[in-house]
Every structure is written in C-alpha cells, then in structure tokens.
Amino acid sequence: MSNIINFNEFQRHKKMKKFLRFILVIGVVSIFCIFAYLLIVKGRYPLAKYPPYIEAKP
C-alpha cells in the first residue's frame, strides 16, 4: 500500500514541477517582451536632452 502512496506523491511532484516550469517559462517570456517593448519605445521616442544647467536670461 505504501508503494501506491509513494507513486501518487511522485505523480503529484511531477505535476508540480511541470506547473512551476510552465510558470517560469511564462515569466521569462513576459520579462523578455517587456524589455523588448521598452527598447522599442525608447528608440522610437528618445528622451529629451536638457542642458545640465539653466541659462540666465538677460
């Protein structure tokens, strides 16, 4: 009987590993997509370059 319980635990751990691997892959892909999106937006709309000081008006 203990063999059946151990087999069920093994199957449960196997399913949990697959689920965690799926979550990890989804996370990596989403981080990559966000990074690519930020690079595209930053390239399309470059940040405005302001002078490091404010010139005095005469």
**Rounded to an integer, what distance in angstroms lies between the CA atom of residue 35 and that of residue 39?**
6
DSSP string, 6-35: HHHHHHHHHHHHHHHHHHHHHHHHHHHHHH
pLDDT digits (tens, 9 = 90+) for 3-49: 556 667 767 778 888 999 999 999 999 999 999 998 888 777 666 66
**Token pair 């370059």: residue:** 49
Tell me what pLDDT residue 48 has: 64
Of residues 45 and 1, more confidently modeled: 45
Q: Which amino acid belongs to residue 3?
A: N
Residue type, 34: I
Domain residue ranges of the chain, discontinuous segments joined by +: 1-46
Kindly state the tokens that stand for 54.
């404010």
Q: What is the Cα 24 distance to its own chain's centre?
A: 9
